């Protein structure tokens, strides 16, 4: 059972772009995706709010975030 749930957990690598909130960082995740019609690779980016319990990550740090239970309305990731 644990291996099955372990496969379904999403993990992303990104850069911290904001650390102004308490126990929360905003992580920018960039990924290359092939455009379905034009067959050209484009950069897609998305910002995730992630839980940072000890406020130890600062702007510019590269972090790995992992999906977890909803912590608040916007936060469903935590920093590993």
- Assign residue 64 a region (left: φ > 0; alpha: ψ between -120 and 50; beta: otherwise): beta
Res 7: pLDDT: 76
> pLDDT of 47-68, one tens digit each?
999 999 999 999 999 999 999 9
CA pair distance 35, 46, nearest whole angstrom: 16
Domain ranges across the chain: 10-79
The percent of residues above 70 in pLDDT, for the chain, comes to 94
Q: Class of 10-79 per CATH?
A: mainly beta
Res 3: pLDDT: 62
């Amino acid at each position: 059972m644990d291996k099955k749930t372990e496969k379904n957990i999403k993990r992303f690598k990104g850069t911290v772009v904001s650390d102004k909130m308490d126990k929360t960082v905003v992580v920018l995740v960039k990924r290359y995706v092939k455009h379905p019609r034009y067959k050209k690779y484009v950069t897609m980016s998305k910002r995730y709010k992630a839980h940072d319990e000890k406020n130890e990550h600062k702007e510019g740090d590269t972090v790995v975030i992992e999906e977890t239970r909803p912590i608040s309305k916007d936060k469903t990731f935590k920093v590993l």
